[in-house]
Amino acid sequence: MKPPPFAYRAPRTLDEALAALAEYGADAKVLAGGQSLIPLLNMRLAAPAVIVDINRIGALDTVFVDATGVRIGALARQRRVERATDAARVQPLIGQALRHIAHPVIRVRGTVVGSLAHADPAAELPVVLAVLGGSVEVASAAGGRRAIPAAEFFAGALEPALRPGELAVGAFFPALGPRAGTAFAETARRHGDYGLAGVAAVVALDDDLRVAAARIGCLGVAATPFVLDLTDVLGHRPPDSCDWSAAAEHAKRAVRPEADIHAGGDYRRHLIGVLTERTLRAAAAAARDGVIDD
Amino acid sequence: MTEERLDVEMTVNGVPRGARVPARRLLSDFLRHDLGLTGTHVGCEHGVCGCCTVLLDGEPVRSCLMFAVGAAGHAVTTVEGLAAPGGSPSPVQRAFAECHALQCGFCTPGFLCTVTALLRDRPRPTDDEVMAGISGNLCRCTGYQNIVKAVHRASELMAEAE
Amino acid sequence: MTTKLFGEPIPRREDPRLVTGRGRFLDDLGGRALAAAFVRSPHAHARVVDIDVAGALDVEGLVAVYTWDDLGGRVGEPLPLLIPHPALTHGRTGYPLARDVVRHVGEPVAMVVATDRYLAEDAADRILVGYEPLPPVVGIEAAAAADHLVHEDVPGNAGARLVQEVPGPDGLSAPAAIERAPHRLEFRLAIERSASMPLEGRGVYARWDADDESLRVYSSTQTSTSVRMAIAAKLDLPPAKVEVIAPDVGGGFGVKIVHPWPEEILVPWAARLLGREVKWTEDRREHFTSSAHERGQVHFVRVGFDDEGRILGLDVRFLHDHGAYTPYGIIVPIITSTQLLGPYKVGAYRVEFTSLYTNTVQVTPYRGAGRPQGVFCMERTMDRVAVHLGRDRTLVRAANLIQPGDFPYDQGLTFQDGRPLIYDSGDYPELLRMVKELIGWDDFGKAQTEAAVRGRRLGLGLACYVEGTGVGPYEGGHVEVDSSGRVHVSTGLTSQGQGHQTVFAQIAAAELGVPIEDIRVTTGDTRRFRYAVGTFASRAAVLSGNAIALACRALRDKALRIAADALEADPRDLEIEDGIVRIRGNPAASIPLRTVAVLSNPLRYAFDEEAARATQFAVGGSTDQPPVAEGEQPGLEGTQYYSPVRSTFAAGAHAAIVETDPDTAEVRVLRYAVVHDCGRLINPRIVEGQIHGGVAQGIGGALYERLIYDEHGQLLNASFMDFLMPYATEIPAIETAHLETPSPLNPLGVKGAGEAGVIPVSAVIAAAIEDAEGIRIEEMPISPDDLFRLRERARRAAGESSGAEAGEARPV
């Protein structure tokens, strides 16, 4: 289990990185945190001709927080974002999900943007980005920069909508709106494993503290993050009188997860129901608590 | 087929070290085979078992999930560097021995590095913090009972030393 | 007090090295050695048509490529069948490198040697092997159906079939006793595959000394002496020219007792051929597909019992999945069939197993070695009987227990060592009482009901077991006191974390009366001790422990004889304390052991000051006697062997409380209690550690770990991402209590402790989940998905026929 040989480039600037990616195109693979890529290399399941290591590009190690949301650079490690209290205030769902990613030691190296760009259907962060309607910012030597909405970015399992030569340089997670709350839950076999199924929920209340919007994102149930708007199912009622289990039933009916060695499709669908109800309730409670705190 | 080699230099256990290696040389292999620091162990080479955990600029990382060249210019601490400069074992090392927190000893260096960083950040960890802190390291011998005890004991020893 | 060390929880003497990174594990050695890698079969069953190595030849750093055609002499013959048995009529083993046919994914086909492992893997990747796929046989049912064969000369895929029968006191056979019993049940119970999975894989490092024509081999093995004999035989070397050393071994748990592995032959063979040091370090993927697995068995149980739950007849047939080869014979199913009975007397017993070949990794013992399956059968049977009769589960067990007055108790079977299955000692009712007390058996019903009111599901399970430990044939111990007073203890068996350097030193310190600091223990090094069997079957403390004790006693007698001479005293008046021989009651008259060591070796040449005291003009005494008295040997040293007439039997009882999530079907173990009896404890802390580790592996086997093959024979979860060994977060706090019924069979009164923790866990967890859920648990391990499906099935069944309990065992 040793990685195959590759040519190695370690650019110091973004321009150098983009130039390298432009030069090698599909032959190149970007190395950021390496917590997903290097296992694949060690098992020789991937054998890129060139590795472009972006770890020396300090300018990408950024976390910007403002009222609109959290903008995370390609080199920001998950552990750093997890500990960023300002980011948690503006968008708590990021931190709630980060705690479910593997183990602290993995998060020390793993990057937020790298996890998005890996586009694993069982991963937490793609679902967070999708349910929040965030975007991934990409850059290339030829095409400059563009922002790809989450709904388009996750094109398939392990298939980000990146063109050869493009680098995901950052991600934008929109801020939580007023009177809104979030929750994240997943069921994993062991602590730190990929979830068998997981749900990220965002619930916003209106001025009368009735449900104004409710969305969930599901992991582990499709090739890409599965987002579902449950606002109408819940019917603009105060959380206390919402039929959460009806929403859960709705979510369950909406997903068609496949079986793998760890769980069958029926069980995964059942979990989506259970976790939908749990996270919706928790998100609504957080929304209301936020209002009361204010 | 001649593979390009790179000069890789880093500070290991406080000492500048270097070797000329291919870019694909894993940090774990660099430490073990190029620098001869065999205390860092390799249990899975896909980042799950935690045996190869070392400290990179003080933070615990899997040395099997990094290329040596990626650690160039950084400071690495391995199990060989945990003891005090005079050679007396660190509180974490002492606590592991005192609590019988190891049997075969293969996973131990990874645990020691992980716990060293954990206790630096959380000198008096709760049970939950201990569990979360060591949750990424596999041990096949001890059933973790005495490892958990050892983390708390190391915390005590550190407090006593202050 | 140095002489009170036996039984003390002293800190381990191994640890100062291991916590500072100074361990010497296999891959820590041989920094200059060439690296080996293997081309392994991607097919479960295929004919090897051709091997094209041309592509590998331009890999810089390539030294050699070998296929079966290159192997000459005995190296090219099939690997040995280590433990033949008359019932193993169709034993089969593989070749070191596949000859014509590969029979499991991961079987070695070609060996590459290069200057480092990276390059060796590059070269291996470029070797093109042409395969003609053959139909794979995967799973016990498919093997039994025998539509296809794993070995074309093994009809029905059946390697072995063995029946053992013990009639009841009334002379009735088990089937007849069951037929006449007031109550009868029959059911199927299954356990899936798992594996030892030590964190250090296997590894071999060989150095050939061309001048001396000798070989030194390091192997991460549980038996260095037998590896030595195997290498000597295969490479046609005199055993005296081969030394094998087990360095620090990063866990074994059974898999490393198998030998010689293909790599253990090929690496030394290549080292000799190339005249270079060669090393192979197994990687994790290789370990999954190229070492060994265990546990997979399907059992069909028929039981007849009376109104009290006393078992009048028990008839168990089971199918054992042996994988592709049988290098370790049929030890695992023999142990299942004999240890199944546990602490119980059953009226009449019949057990029959068929051992089946499949195109999967071979099956050899993993900690517990067939016992977890047997205990699962017996204890699930006890629970079923209790439910059927509406009696408390512990009462049914109590009604069947062997009583303290019944020892030695002959179960009437033949054990894995070919000896009668006679239990030496124990107090099983007390074990049951203790575990009930520890877990709070009698109060649990209330807690369960209260939890249910709050929507929580709690369940309590319990299981008992008896474990034959300390199996023969023998181990030895060598003890030597040098002229500095250091005591060198060596034994041939190996260590994989059991703390042998500590416990053997405790035994020696206690027996000799020397400070433990003066004692150095060496294990698993054939340069120091040549005759040994190995570390398995919870036997090290019993076999080597007693051998070392006997060697110490002999050495002590000799020391006292010499000291008596020097002190002009009667040996019977002497004692040794803190390394000094004294006349009892006269502390002034004493002589240090190091001086006795000097005196024991009459010298002509003085190489140091101590030696000068033993030279011919320095020593006084009689001139008409030979300097070395008749019947004595020079040196204060001695070797003794301990060879038990049969195994000694440890026992225990475990209980657990689990909580099942009503929504997600996740299972959490809230409490786990162990009562354990391994006779006298040498070091309680080490015994506890063994139990902790065993229980954790048991919980892994009950809730997390299973090796999953698809119908093509591909192992789908050959990584730590997908083979779910528990982390700390998955293991509950383990509560332990000890009972000590010394073994009458050996001088120290000890029994083995290494495997005990793992044995009853699946039975305990299954019982607890069943208690929480009211759903029968017949197969382990159980995942949340499994429990979800069982709930769905029970719900459907309840809907279909209201009233009939789902999964109810049917009376026959």
Q: What percent of chain C has pLDDT over 90?
A: 91
Residue A294 reports pLDDT greater than 80: no
Domain co-membership, C482 together with C589: yes
Q: Is residue A237 assigned to a domain?
A: yes
Chain A: partners with 3+ C-beta pairs within 8 Å: B, C
**pLDDT tens, A41-90?**
999 999 999 999 999 999 999 999 999 999 999 999 999 999 999 999 99
Domain co-membership, B104 together with B75: no
DSSP A82-120: HT-HHHHHH-HHHHHHHTTSS-HHHHHH-BHHHHHHHT-
- Tell me how many domains chain C contains: 3
Q: Is residue A107 assigned to a domain?
A: yes
Whether A93 contacts A81, CB under 8 Å: no
pLDDT (0 to 100) of residue C801: 66
- Tell me: cis bond preceding C781? Omega within 30 of 0 counts: yes
Task: Look at residues C152, C181, C526 and name the one whose alpha carbon lies nearest to residue C346.
Answer: C181
Give the helix ranges, DSSP H, for C390-443. 393-400, 428-439
| Domain coverage including residue C703 | 297-471+645-803+807-811
Mean pLDDT of chain C: 95
- Residue tagged 């001890």 (tokens): B142
CA pair distance C138, C717, nearest whole angstrom: 15
**pLDDT tens, C280-289?**
999 999 999 9
Domain co-membership, C68 together with C125: yes
DSSP C674-700: EEEE-BS-S-HHHHHHHHHHHHHHHHI
Q: Is residue B69 assigned to a domain?
A: yes
Residue C607 reports pLDDT greater than 90: no
Domain co-membership, A80 together with A48: no
pLDDT band at C402 (very low <50, low <70, confident <90, very high): very high
Whether B91 contacts B32, CB under 8 Å: no
- Tell me how many domains chain B contains: 2
pLDDT (0 to 100) of residue C612: 79
Domain co-membership, C275 together with C374: no
Domain co-membership, C723 together with C709: yes
Whether A75 contacts A160, CB under 8 Å: no
* Averaged pLDDT for residues C435-450: 97
Give the CATH number of the domain where residue C776 resides: 3.30.365.10
Mutate to test the interface with C, among A270, A274, A281 (most CBs of C within 10 A): A270
Task: Determine whether the interchain pair C664/A187 forms a contact, defined as Cβ–Cβ distance below 8 Å.
Answer: yes
For residue A182 the two structure tokens come to 């979030």
Domain co-membership, A65 together with A42: no
Burial readout A214-230 (b: 16 or more C-beta within 10 A, e: otherwise): bbbbbbbbbebbbbbeb
Residue C137 reports pLDDT greater than 90: yes
Residue C378 reports pLDDT greater than 50: yes
Whether C702 contacts C725, CB under 8 Å: no
Of C17, C249, C696, the CB nearest to B104: C249
* Averaged pLDDT for residues C486-490: 97
Residue finishing a domain among B81, B113, B137: B81
Whether A33 contacts A111, CB under 8 Å: yes
Q: Taking CA atoms, what residue in A is nearest to B131?
A: A191
For residue A237 the two structure tokens come to 């009622």
Task: Determine whether the interchain pair B64/A31 forms a contact, defined as Cβ–Cβ distance below 8 Å.
Answer: no
Domain co-membership, A146 together with A199: no
Q: Is residue C169 assigned to a domain?
A: no
Q: Is residue C139 assigned to a domain?
A: no
Chain C hits for A193, CB-CB cut-off 8 Å, are 721, 724
Domain co-membership, B38 together with B10: yes
Q: Is residue A272 assigned to a domain?
A: yes
* Averaged pLDDT for residues C191-199: 97
Q: How far is CA C362 from the centre of its chain?
A: 16
Domain co-membership, B122 together with B65: no
Q: Is residue A267 assigned to a domain?
A: yes
- Residue tagged 């967890």 (tokens): C765
- Tell me how many domains chain A contains: 3
Give the CATH number of the domain where residue B134 resides: 1.10.150.120
| Domain coverage including residue A228 | 180-293
Domain co-membership, B76 together with B14: yes
Domain co-membership, A124 together with A195: no
pLDDT band at C812 (very low <50, low <70, confident <90, very high): very low
Give the CATH number of the domain where residue A231 resides: 3.30.390.50
Domain co-membership, C273 together with C303: no
Give the CATH number of the domain where residue A46 resides: 3.30.43.10
Task: Determine whether the interchain pair A192/C717 forms a contact, defined as Cβ–Cβ distance below 8 Å.
Answer: no
Domain co-membership, B97 together with B41: no
Domain co-membership, C429 together with C512: no
Query: Which stretch of DSSP H or E encloses residue C498?
Result: none
Task: Determine whether the interchain pair B114/A105 forms a contact, defined as Cβ–Cβ distance below 8 Å.
Answer: yes
Domain co-membership, A230 together with A160: no
Give the CATH number of the domain where residue A157 resides: 3.30.465.10
* Averaged pLDDT for residues A112-120: 97
Domain co-membership, B68 together with B107: no
DSSP C599-637: HTS-BSS-SSHHHHTTBTTT--S-SSS-SS-TT--SSSE
Q: Taking CA atoms, what residue in B is nearest to A99?
A: B132
Whether A257 contacts A265, CB under 8 Å: yes
Domain co-membership, B110 together with B143: yes
Domain co-membership, B77 together with B95: no
Task: Determine whether the interchain pair C788/A190 forms a contact, defined as Cβ–Cβ distance below 8 Å.
Answer: no
Q: Which residues contact C322 (CB under 8 A, 6 or more apart)?
A: C159, C330, C355, C356, C357, C358, C362, C363
Give the CATH number of the domain where residue B34 resides: 3.10.20.30
Angle between helices B108-121 and B145-161 (to 10 degrees): 50
Q: Is residue A159 assigned to a domain?
A: yes
The verdict on A61 touching B (C-beta cutoff 8 Å) is no
Residue finishing a domain among A174, A191, A209: A174
Domain co-membership, B17 together with B59: yes
pLDDT (0 to 100) of residue C5: 87
Residue C807 reports pLDDT greater than 80: no
Q: Is residue C23 assigned to a domain?
A: no
Mutate to test the interface with B, among A103, A106, A118, A193 (most CBs of B within 10 A): A103
Strand partners, C491: C477, C523
Residue finishing a domain among B62, B81, B100: B81
Domain co-membership, C399 together with C435: yes
Q: Is residue B72 assigned to a domain?
A: yes
Task: Determine whether the interchain pair C788/A267 forms a contact, defined as Cβ–Cβ distance below 8 Å.
Answer: yes
Task: Determine whether the interchain pair A2/B26 forms a contact, defined as Cβ–Cβ distance below 8 Å.
Answer: yes
Q: Which of these ranges, C246-255, C594-603, C620-629, has the smallest mean pLDDT?
A: C620-629
DSSP, res C701: I
Residue finishing a domain among B24, B49, B81: B81
Domain co-membership, C668 together with C799: yes
3-class DSSP string for B30-82 = HHHHHCCCCCCCCCCCCCCCCCCEEEECCEEEEHHHCEHHHHCCCEEECHHHC
pLDDT band at B84 (very low <50, low <70, confident <90, very high): confident
Domain co-membership, C376 together with C227: no
Residue finishing a domain among C235, C269, C290: C290
Whether C130 contacts C67, CB under 8 Å: no
Whether C92 contacts C41, CB under 8 Å: no
pLDDT (0 to 100) of residue C615: 79
pLDDT band at C2 (very low <50, low <70, confident <90, very high): very low
Tell me the one-letter amino acid at B141.
C
Q: Is residue C502 assigned to a domain?
A: yes
Domain co-membership, C664 together with C725: yes
CA pair distance A194, C89, nearest whole angstrom: 46
Q: Is residue A2 assigned to a domain?
A: no
Q: Is residue C171 assigned to a domain?
A: no
Strand partners, C46: C102, C133
CA pair distance C21, C3, nearest whole angstrom: 31
**pLDDT tens, A247-261?**
999 999 999 999 999
CA pair distance A222, A89, nearest whole angstrom: 30
Radius of gyration in angstroms for the set of CA atoms belonging to chain B, rounded to a whole number:
16
Query: Which stretch of DSSP H or E encloses residue C209?
Result: strand C203-209
Of C283, C663, C716, the CB nearest to A274: C663
CA pair distance C692, C402, nearest whole angstrom: 27
The verdict on A42 touching B (C-beta cutoff 8 Å) is yes
3-class DSSP string for C103-163 = CCCCCEEEEEEECCHHHHHHHHHCCEEEEEECCCCCCHHHHHHCCCCCCCCCHHHEEEEEE
| Domain coverage including residue B153 | 91-161
**pLDDT tens, C13-64?**
999 999 999 999 999 999 999 999 999 999 999 999 999 999 999 999 999 9
Cβ-Cβ contacts under 8 Å between A and C: the total is 65
Q: Is residue A39 assigned to a domain?
A: yes
Q: Which of these ranges, A194-203, A283-292, B56-65, C492-501, has the smallest mean pLDDT?
A: A283-292
Residue C175 reports pLDDT greater than 70: yes
Residue finishing a domain among A174, A202, A222: A174
Q: Is residue B86 assigned to a domain?
A: no
Give the CATH number of the domain where residue C73 resides: 3.90.1170.50
Q: Is residue B145 assigned to a domain?
A: yes
C300 phi/psi in degrees, rounded to 5? -120, 115
Domain co-membership, C502 together with C389: no
Domain co-membership, C631 together with C654: no
pLDDT band at C236 (very low <50, low <70, confident <90, very high): very high
**pLDDT tens, C292-336?**
999 999 999 999 999 999 999 999 999 999 999 999 999 999 999
Cα Dmax for chain B: 58
CA-based nearest distance C132→chain A, Å: 24
pLDDT band at A293 (very low <50, low <70, confident <90, very high): low
Q: Is residue B17 assigned to a domain?
A: yes
DSSP A221-275: SSSS-EEEE-HHHHTS--GGG--HHHHHHHHHHH--PPP-SS--HHHHHHHHHHH
Residue finishing a domain among C600, C615, C642: C642
Of C284, C666, C716, the CB nearest to A261: C716
Residue finishing a domain among C642, C662, C695: C642
pLDDT band at A292 (very low <50, low <70, confident <90, very high): low
pLDDT (0 to 100) of residue A237: 95
Burial readout B100-132 (b: 16 or more C-beta within 10 A, e: otherwise): bbbbbbbbbbbbbbbbbbbbeeeeebeeeebbb
Q: Is residue C223 assigned to a domain?
A: yes
pLDDT band at C632 (very low <50, low <70, confident <90, very high): confident
